[in-house]
Amino acid sequence: MTEPTLHHPRYTRSNRYDPMWVTANQMGPNVLWLTESLMEVMTIEPGMKVLDLGCGKAASSIFLAREFGAQVWATDLWIPADENRQRIEEAGLTELITAVHAEAHTLPFEAGFFDAIVSIDAYQYFGTADLYLGYVLDFLKPGGQIGAVMPATTRELGEEIPVTLEQFWEWDFCCWHTPEWWRTHWAKTRKVTVEHAELIEDMWRDWLQFNDFIAPHVEGWWIDEVASTRDFLMTDQGTEIGFSRVVATKR
Ligand SMILES: C[S@@+](CC[C@H](N)C(=O)[O-])C[C@H]1O[C@@H](n2cnc3c(N)ncnc32)[C@H](O)[C@@H]1O
């Protein structure tokens, strides 16, 4: 049997990060892989002001600052800003990253402040409301990009949950949608041009690889979470569930 590894041929930037640091700061799938896959279709350049919305433990913010020289506002609700500030300090990136504790509907920023907005495995928690995109776009300059990566269904689900998913289903999975759903959801505001709305190829396999790597290292309720994620991914094999990336430019 091959040893679980965090080395991945696609994610060459992420390969440079200490796997135990990535494990310690995980809040689901591998945030660095999700961020790197978004950067394949989004442009972040040195000095750009970036809102990282729902940054969790700020690993994506650290990645964007270190890899692309972006100035990042690492913004999150569940994780206190002090905790993220400490991680940012340990990464030596205090000049580039500002930790902010905020709820996605009451963001403490000026209109048009950001050159780009990213959101990794978080936008689904607040962004399914029809009016949310219009709200968050106020903080983005015209011509700026917004990019989000989130869990995806491969078809829009109705009342019937697919049998393979039934035993794993949690009510809040109802916020998972297809990439096409997100394309329409954003495009119909007429406030953006949607450039990408697609499943990230094989992300379910990557999630499984990551899950297997972290399994021996997690504690507490994460032990059950990791076991059930494995069952879920092995049962589904990407048939119903994956990850989507959606990128649009503000008109
Ligand atoms: C699954 S975690 C992902 C965190 C991080 N982006 C990552 O991938 O590791 C979802 C994050 O969304 C944030 N979040 C959820 N609802 C939010 C809201 N209403 N306002 C701001 N952040 C929110 C949570 O604080 C949490 O850190």
pLDDT score of 173? 95
Burial of 5 (0-12, 13-18, 19+ CB in 10 A): exposed
d(CA 100, CA 79): 10
199 lines ligand 1 (CB under 6 A): no
- CB-based contact 235:172 (threshold 8 Å): no
pLDDT of 3 > 90? The answer is no
End-to-end CA distance of the chain: 51
> Average pLDDT, stretch 87-103?
98
Q: What pLDDT score does 56 carry?
A: 98
Pocket perturbation via mutation, ligand 1, pick of 36, 38, 77 by most ligand atoms within 8 A of CB:
77
Q: Above 70 in pLDDT, residue 1?
A: no
Q: What is the pTM of this model?
A: 0.98
pLDDT of 92 over the 80 cut:
yes
pLDDT one-digit tens code per residue, 191-245: 999 999 999 999 999 999 999 999 999 999 999 999 999 999 999 999 999 999 9
Backbone angles phi, psi at 168, to 5 degrees: -105, -5
**Helix, strand, coil shares of the chain as percentages rounded to 5?**
40, 20, 40
Above 80 in pLDDT, residue 90? yes
State if residue 103 touches ligand 1 by the CB under 6 angstroms criterion: yes
In angstroms, rounded to a whole number, what is the distance separating the alpha carbons of residues 22 and 37?
A: 16
Burial class (CB in 10 A: 0-12, 13-18, 19+), 128: middle
How far apart are alpha carbons 155 and 79 in whole angstroms? 32
113 CB under 6 A from ligand 1?
A: no
pLDDT of residue 2: 76
- For a ligand 1 pocket test, name from 125, 207, 229 the mutation site with the most ligand atoms within 8 angstroms of its C-beta: 125
* 146-184: pLDDT as tens digits: 999 999 999 999 998 988 889 999 999 999 999 999 999
Domains in the chain (CATH in brackets) are: 14-250 (3.40.50.150)
Residues 16-68 have pLDDT tens digits of: 999 999 999 999 999 999 999 999 999 999 999 999 999 999 999 999 999 99
